[in-house]
Each structure stands twice: as C-alpha cells, then as structure tokens.
C-alpha cells in the first residue's frame, strides 16, 4: 500500500488534488475524530464530509458480522437496481419509505449523487407541467422554466448549473438556461436568537419578484425550487411564513414546490427533514449526502397527470438506480439513528453549540448572526478575509469546518456528538476567534 506521505504526490501525478493536507486513516478514525496517518494527529470533524457522514467513524454497529456480511455481498456485486431486485434493496426501500420519508409521500426515485437527485426532481416537474399544459402547448418541454433563488446551490450537473449561483467559478463558461432567479429573504439573528433584520421587507421584495416572474413566464414555470435553508449560499434561514407563501403560490400558479434537502435532510436538523420544522409540505423533496443513496420522494400532486414519470417506464432512470452498497449502508444508518436516538441527540447538542457560539459573540464580539438547527450551525464574520483566516486557524487547532456564503463559517456536526465534544469544539473555536478588543 502507498505510504501516507506519498498519497498527495501520487494523486497529484494523475489528478487535481487540492483537498486537505491530511490523509485519513479509516481504521484509526474514531467517533468524531479523523486520524491523520501522515502526522498521527486527530482532527475534530465538524464538517462530516460536507454533511454527508452522520454517525462518526468506526461505529460499532457498522462492524457487526451480520451487517458486514450483507455489506460485503452488496459490494461484491454491482447490479442494476432499476431492473434486478434484491432482498437488500427491498429492506432498504421499506426502511427508508416508512421510517425516513413522512407519510403522504408514496413515490420514490433513487440515483447516485445529489445533483442528479435535484435534476430528476426538475424532470418530475417538467413532465407534470408539460402534460398539464397539453404537450403541444409546452413546445415539447422546451419553453418550461424553473423559478429559483439567489444564493442557491443545487449542484453542478446540466440542469442544476442553471440554478446554482454561489461561487461563479463553479458554473462559469458552461452553457446554462436563463431561468428566473429571485431575491432571497434570509433571516438574521441577534445574540439572543431574535430576528434582527427587516425580514418582512425582504420577504415582500422576494414575493414581488416571484409575482413578476410568474407574469413574465406566464404558464411556463414548472416548479419553484428552494433549499429550506441555503447551505453553500451562506446558511440562509427562512421564516415559516415565507415558505408557506411559496406553498400558496405553487398551488395557485400550477407549479410544483420542490425542496432541495440534499444538505439539510435525513435527521441532521433533529427531525428527518428540515421542512418538518416549518410544517410546510412540499410536493417533491430531493435528498442526498447523509442518505448515501440519493434521490427524491413525491406526494400525490403528480397524480394530476395519470401518466406521470412514476407510472411511465424510463422517463427518469439510470443504469444502477442508486447503488446497493449505499442502500445497505443507508438502512443501517436508519437503524443506528433510531436505536441511539441521534436525531434528538443532535437537536440538543446543536442547541448547546449554538448557545455557546452566541455566548462567544456576546463576550468577544467579531462573530454575528450565530444561527442553526441541529447539526446545521453557522456564524458570520466581518469579511471574507477574516473568515478564511479563521478557517485556517481552526484547521491548525485540528477542527474541520467549512466556508459558507461570502463570509460565514458553517459546521455540520456529527449526529453522535456528545456534550463534552461540543464543549471541546467551543473551546477550540474560542481559541481561533479573531483577535481584537472585546465588545
Ligand atoms: C443543497 C444541495 N443540493 C445539491 C447538492 C449537490 O450534491 P452532489 O455534490 O452530491 O452532487 C449539494 C451539494 O453540496 C447541496 O448542498
């Protein structure tokens, strides 16, 4: 096996390798700590592979012999799950559809990758809208558009690049559709967790933008898509009132309401899905990351069109239809999350972490708008440069965290994190606070 010291040079000789300097040791990484086999040091993982790894490392339930046998069987065979069915797949689908998906959502679709989950959610909407208009009216679908938000990140695949508008270099120079993009009424919080910006004015502006878009693209908007909290765009939270307004508009204007929960979903908020905190039901939800196998679930609104994509072969499909290893692993995650009550755990630990950050903001200044729910926690710094420096300092303090938007840092806590580990995290964050006069 290649020596850890040569991992980066080996990768660099064949690909872009601009990731972390560490080399993760899969055997020695434990719980919330990633072991770096280059330096022998442990890093506190508050980034969880971009919110995709919920249960920490070397979880004992992942190495129970029966489970390892099942996982190995799935890994030794890579089959086309869309067409060849297995008991492993049925176990997964049953577990996911009854223990992760809320009731009322009877349709599922599985694929590998979050962008393709979103992409297929859009296809569900295009197909639905084109049929509702009458296929001739929709110009074979070519006239249909997607209403989306400034600061959105929905992936880097074909359709999704027309929606993603965070860091311009992620989509620049690739052909895109000029679909309607409206302003984003993000809530800002003071150090007591109260809303401290003029959110009603921002929401009025966004609703006016949406109204104008529906007038401009009369009858052509197939769906409204939104992350119920924008992740990459800056951990931008929305009020329930705003999401409820989107629900009303989608109903009145004959558009599907799609929530992109690739980053926010699957128990990371303390509930299975972030939208459940708001009680505003979307028509379609795209998921990925922590779910391992990605995809979407949809409610019966698609049945306005009897020959929708869930009843017509090959309208949405892929060779592997997800990946069986991911399915087996996801089912195990559901078992672990339930057995260890990890959703409740991360709700409580996230609240402690957020409370600690707000205390730091009060005592030390420099950080503002501490915000979050469950594992999804962030704060804002005064400039991109200060933020970037703090991220470097955190890495030096052996904490992995992520940038968010122009000047925020986001944390994606492991669902297993303990109160002691939250205290440890707060201590290290405190050590990395920008220097300066106390507020
Ligand atoms: C909200 C959201 N949607 C879609 C995606 C794309 O997922 P993937 O990178 O797995 O294609 C991401 C990835 O970060 C995301 O955060």
260 Cβ inside 6 Å of ligand 1:
yes
Which atom of ligand 1 is the closest one to the Cα of 155?
A: 6
pLDDT digits (tens, 9 = 90+) for 11-39: 999 999 999 999 999 999 999 999 999 99
State whether 152 and 164 are in the same domain: yes
Query: Stretch 127-153: mean pLDDT, rounded?
Result: 93
Q: What per-residue confidence (pLDDT) applies to 436?
A: 55
Do 182 and 206 touch, CB atoms closer than 8 A? Answer: yes
Which atom of ligand 1 is the closest one to the Cα of 232?
A: 16
Bridge partner list, 45: 400
Q: What per-residue confidence (pLDDT) applies to 438?
A: 44
**Which range marks the domain in which residue 46 is found?**
4-60+340-431
State in Å, rounded, how far the first CA of the chain is from the last one.
52
CA of 286 to the centre of ligand 1 (A): 10
265 Cβ inside 6 Å of ligand 1:
no
Which atom of ligand 1 is the closest one to the Cα of 115?
A: 11
State whether 250 and 369 are in the same domain: no
263 Cβ inside 6 Å of ligand 1:
yes
Q: Tokens 């905190």 sit at which residue?
A: 277
Q: What per-residue confidence (pLDDT) applies to 25?
A: 98
> Does the predicted model carry a pTM greater than 0.85?
yes
Instruction: Name the token pair of 74.
Output: 């799935």
163 Cβ inside 6 Å of ligand 1:
no
Do 222 and 189 touch, CB atoms closer than 8 A? Answer: no
Q: Is the dihedral of CA 27, 31, 34, 40 positive or negative?
A: negative
Pocket mutation for ligand 1, best pick of 285, 289, 322 (most atoms within 8 Å of C-beta): 289
State whether 323 and 348 are in the same domain: no
Q: What per-residue confidence (pLDDT) applies to 177?
A: 98
The answer to the question of residue 372 being in a domain is: yes
CA of 225 to the centre of ligand 1 (A): 13
CA of 203 to the centre of ligand 1 (A): 25
347 Cβ inside 6 Å of ligand 1:
no
- Domain end marker among 272, 303, 336: 336
CA of 201 to the centre of ligand 1 (A): 29
Name which of 220, 217, 210 is nearest 125 in CA terms: 220
d(CA 182, CA 224): 10
pLDDT digits (tens, 9 = 90+) for 411-421: 999 999 999 99
pLDDT digits (tens, 9 = 90+) for 313-348: 999 999 999 999 999 999 999 999 999 999 999 999
State whether 121 and 205 are in the same domain: yes
State whether 296 and 245 are in the same domain: yes
State whether 44 and 152 are in the same domain: no
Chain mean pLDDT for the chain: 97
State whether 261 and 381 are in the same domain: no
Query: Stretch 181-202: mean pLDDT, rounded?
Result: 98
- Domain end marker among 336, 364, 396: 336
State whether 105 and 21 are in the same domain: no
50 Cβ inside 6 Å of ligand 1:
yes
CA of 259 to the centre of ligand 1 (A): 12
CATH number, position 315:
3.40.640.10
Q: What per-residue confidence (pLDDT) applies to 321?
A: 98
Query: Stretch 90-116: mean pLDDT, rounded?
Result: 98
User: For the chain, what percentages of helix, strand and coil (3-state, to nearest 5) are there?
Assistant: 40, 20, 40
State whether 189 and 262 are in the same domain: yes
CA of 210 to the centre of ligand 1 (A): 24
Instruction: Name the token pair of 176.
Output: 């895109």
The answer to the question of residue 101 being in a domain is: yes
CA of 285 to the centre of ligand 1 (A): 13
Task: Using DSSP, state whether 212 is helix, strand or coil.
Answer: helix
Q: What per-residue confidence (pLDDT) applies to 439?
A: 41
State whether 181 and 128 are in the same domain: yes
Q: What per-residue confidence (pLDDT) applies to 138?
A: 77
Task: Using DSSP, state whether 117 is helix, strand or coil.
Answer: helix
Instruction: Domain count for the chain, please give it.
Output: 2
Do 279 and 234 touch, CB atoms closer than 8 A? Answer: no
CA of 155 to the centre of ligand 1 (A): 5
State whether 297 and 368 are in the same domain: no
Going by pLDDT thresholds of 50, 70 and 90, the confidence category of residue 292 is: very high
Which atom of ligand 1 is the closest one to the Cα of 288?
A: 10
- Domain end marker among 320, 336, 352: 336
The answer to the question of residue 129 being in a domain is: yes
CA of 231 to the centre of ligand 1 (A): 9
Query: Stretch 44-73: mean pLDDT, rounded?
Result: 98
**Residue 425 host element (H or E):** helix 419-431
Going by pLDDT thresholds of 50, 70 and 90, the confidence category of residue 135 is: confident
Going by pLDDT thresholds of 50, 70 and 90, the confidence category of residue 136 is: confident
* b/e per residue 331-364 (b: at least 16 CB within 10 A): bbbbebbeeeebbebbbbbbbebbebbbebbeeb
């Amino acid at each position: 096996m290649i020596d850890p010291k040569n991992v980066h040079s080996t990768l660099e000789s064949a690909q872009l390798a601009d990731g972390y300097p560490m080399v993760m040791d899969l055997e020695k990484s434990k719980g919330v700590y990633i072991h770096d086999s280059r330096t022998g040091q442990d890093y506190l993982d508050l980034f969880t592979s971009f919110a995709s790894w919920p249960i920490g490392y070397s979880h004992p339930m992942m190495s129970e012999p029966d489970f390892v046998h099942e996982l190995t069987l799935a890994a030794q065979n890579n089959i086309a799950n869309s067409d060849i069915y297995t008991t492993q797949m049925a176990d997964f689908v049953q577990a996911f559809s009854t223990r992760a998906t809320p009731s009322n959502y009877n349709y599922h679709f599985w694929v590998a990758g979050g962008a393709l989950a979103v992409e297929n959610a859009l296809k569900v909407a295009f197909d639905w809208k084109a049929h509702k208009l009458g296929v001739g009216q929709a110009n074979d679908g070519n006239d249909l558009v997607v209403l989306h938000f400034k600061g959105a990140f929905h992936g880097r695949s074909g359709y999704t690049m027309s929606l993603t508008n965070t860091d311009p270099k992620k989509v620049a120079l690739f052909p895109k559709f000029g679909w309607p993009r409206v302003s984003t009424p993000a809530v800002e919080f003071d150090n007591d967790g109260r809303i401290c910006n003029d959110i009603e004015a921002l929401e009025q502006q966004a609703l006016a933008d949406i109204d104008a878009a529906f007038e401009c693209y009369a009858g052509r908007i197939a769906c409204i898509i939104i992350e119920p909290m924008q992740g990459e765009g800056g951990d931008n939270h929305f009020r329930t009132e705003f999401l409820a307004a989107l629900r009303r508009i989608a109903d009145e204007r004959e558009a599907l309401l799609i929530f992109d929960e690739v980053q926010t979903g699957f128990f990371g908020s303390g509930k299975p899905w972030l939208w459940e905190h708001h009680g505003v039901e979307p028509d379609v939800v795209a998921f990925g990351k922590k779910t391992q196998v990605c995809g979407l679930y949809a409610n019966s609104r698609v049945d306005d069109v009897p020959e929708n994509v869930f009843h017509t072969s090959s309208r949405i499909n892929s060779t592997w239809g997800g990946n069986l290893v991911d399915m087996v692993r996801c089912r195990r995650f559901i078992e672990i999350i339930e057995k260890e009550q990890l959703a409740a755990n991360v709700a409580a630990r996230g609240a402690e972490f957020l409370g600690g950050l707000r205390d730091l903001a009060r005592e030390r200044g420099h950080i503002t708008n501490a915000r979050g729910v469950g594992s999804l926690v962030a704060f804002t710094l005064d400039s991109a440069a200060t933020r970037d420096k703090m991220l470097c300092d955190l890495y030096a303090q052996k904490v992995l965290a992520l940038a968010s938007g122009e000047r925020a840092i986001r944390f994606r806590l492991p669902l297993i994190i303990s109160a002691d580990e939250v205290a440890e995290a707060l201590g290290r964050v405190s050590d990395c606070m920008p220097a300066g006069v106390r507020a």
